[in-house]
């Protein structure tokens, strides 16, 4: 172990819960589990102003954010400029974080990206099946007193069809595994995954998103929201898709150009869509997508189950303690910070870290 590894009993973890209710009564048993197991101090922030938060950060080694607004100006008080060396945010996305500012100030950022992989992939496959079997239309028809087989075709066979994935990370790979179980051909676009690695997953890698659009019977993006992924599924993308193909989106709403999606559906350029996320959330009740019989919708809950939620809360605390104890987090979201901070111990599993610390 590095001689710079601090004594956990001197560590102070600051928890930032949801703002606005004035109660700060959020249960924190799971979030504090890692800190308590090492004897560190876990403090729930109860301030309201930026000034109070700045003062609280001065007395903390790491901060955890679960629903609290966090201005990028705070990074000037952290990292190389103060005691608090990092911030761990709850969830998968990090589009609200100013990564450049964090890197400049030497602030290590992490999230809880590995939770909910099974849940999101299951939600993806649910929407895929609902779309492929035209469930929305027939469910509504029968509940309204109808009984007709006039609108069955076209309906795909599923086995032997092509499932196209954009982004072959944890969730993308899990979706691929489940699509393969249905006897489908799986293709994927991910510039950061090599073809020989994808071979181990039974996935054929393609070189452009456009090839995903042209070849797929079902398209499913699983990417973070960044400047590069914003509206990557757009009008040009829909123009390339088969008229019998479906879009499934359980990643981030703005990855898809929603106006272009509505137009593609209205003009029958694609057969339908399954959506858990939208550009505006909560969705406008007058959004045309809610009135289409070939579109299945859920309200951005794909990552949820009680087990996944507990794991996410626990991971929030584990990542915070890794940062506080001089390790890199497992879910580092600003890797360029390696160039602006002192060397750290490699990220290891929580069990291995405990063993290394003699716990």
Per-residue pLDDT of the chain (359 residues; tens, 9 = 90+): 454 688 899 999 999 998 765 445 578 999 999 999 999 999 999 998 999 999 999 999 999 999 888 888 999 999 999 999 999 999 877 767 889 999 999 999 999 988 899 999 999 999 999 999 999 999 999 999 999 998 899 899 999 999 999 999 999 999 999 999 999 999 999 999 998 999 999 999 999 999 999 999 999 999 989 999 999 999 999 999 999 999 999 999 999 999 999 999 999 999 999 999 999 999 999 999 999 999 999 999 999 999 999 999 999 999 999 999 999 999 999 999 999 999 999 999 999 999 999 87
Residue 161 annotated to the active site: no
Burial of 61 (0-12, 13-18, 19+ CB in 10 A): buried
Q: Active site includes 300?
A: yes
Instruction: Assign a CATH topology to domain 8-115+306-356.
Output: Rossmann fold (3.40.50)
Q: How far is Cα 15 from Cα 70, in angstroms, rounded to an integer? A: 12
Q: One fold for both 8-115+306-356 and 117-297?
A: yes
Active site residue 211: no
Of the residues 252, 311, 322, 344, only one is catalytic, namely 252
Reply yes or no: is the peptide bond before residue 172 cis, omega within 30 of 0: no
pTM for the model stands at: 0.89
CATH no., domain 117-297: 3.40.50.720
Q: Where are the domains of the chain?
A: 8-115+306-356, 117-297
Sheet holding 12-16, edge to edge: 41-44, 12-16, 62-65, 86-89, 108-110
Looking at the DSSP assignment, which residues form a beta bridge with residue 14? 43, 63
- Nearest C-alpha neighbor of 296 from the set 323, 276, 316, 322: 276
Which is catalytic among the residues 29, 36, 281, 338?
Answer: 281
Query: Residues 125, 100: contact at Cβ < 8 Å?
Result: no
Of residues 300, 311, 322, 344, which has the active-site annotation? Answer: 300
3-state SS class at 66: coil
């Amino acid at each position: 172990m590095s001689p710079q590894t601090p004594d956990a009993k001197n560590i102070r973890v600051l928890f930032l819960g949801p703002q606005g209710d004035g109660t700060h009564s959020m249960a924190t048993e799971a979030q504090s589990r890692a800190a308590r197991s090492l004897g560190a101090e876990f403090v729930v922030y109860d301030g309201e102003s930026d000034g109070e938060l700045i003062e609280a950060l001065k007395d903390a080694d790491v901060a955890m954010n679960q629903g609290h607004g966090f201005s990028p100006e705070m990074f000037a008080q952290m990292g190389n400029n103060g005691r608090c060396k990092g911030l761990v945010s709850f969830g998968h996305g990090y589009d609200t974080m100013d990564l450049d500012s964090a890197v400049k100030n030497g602030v290590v950022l992490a999230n809880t990206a590995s939770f909910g992989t099974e849940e999101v992939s299951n939600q993806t496959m649910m929407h895929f099946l609902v779309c492929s079997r035209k469930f929305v239309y027939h469910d509504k028809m029968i509940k309204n007193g109808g009984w007709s087989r006039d609108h069955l075709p076209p309906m795909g066979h599923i086995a032997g069809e092509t499932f196209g994935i954009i982004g072959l990370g944890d969730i993308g790979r899990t979706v691929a595994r489940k699509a393969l179980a249905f006897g489908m051909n799986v293709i994927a676009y991910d510039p950061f995954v090599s073809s020989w690695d994808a071979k181990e997953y039974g996935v054929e890698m393609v070189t452009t998103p456009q090839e995903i659009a042209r070849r797929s019977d079902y398209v499913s993006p699983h990417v973070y929201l960044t400047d590069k992924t914003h509206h990557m599924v757009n009008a040009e993308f829909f123009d390339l898709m088969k008229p019998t193909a479906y879009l499934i989106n359980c990643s981030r709403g703005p990855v898809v150009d929603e106006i272009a999606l509505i137009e593609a559906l209205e003009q029958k350029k694609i057969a339908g869509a399954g959506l858990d996320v939208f550009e505006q959330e909560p969705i406008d009740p007058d959004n045309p997508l809610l009135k289409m019989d070939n579109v299945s919708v859920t309200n951005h809950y794909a990552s949820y189950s009680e087990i996944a939620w507990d794991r996410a809360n626990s991971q929030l605390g584990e990542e915070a303690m890794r940062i506080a104890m001089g390790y890199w987090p497992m879910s580092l979201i600003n890797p360029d910070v390696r160039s602006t901070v002192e060397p750290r111990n490699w990220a290891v599993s929580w069990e291995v870290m405990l063993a290394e610390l003699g716990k």
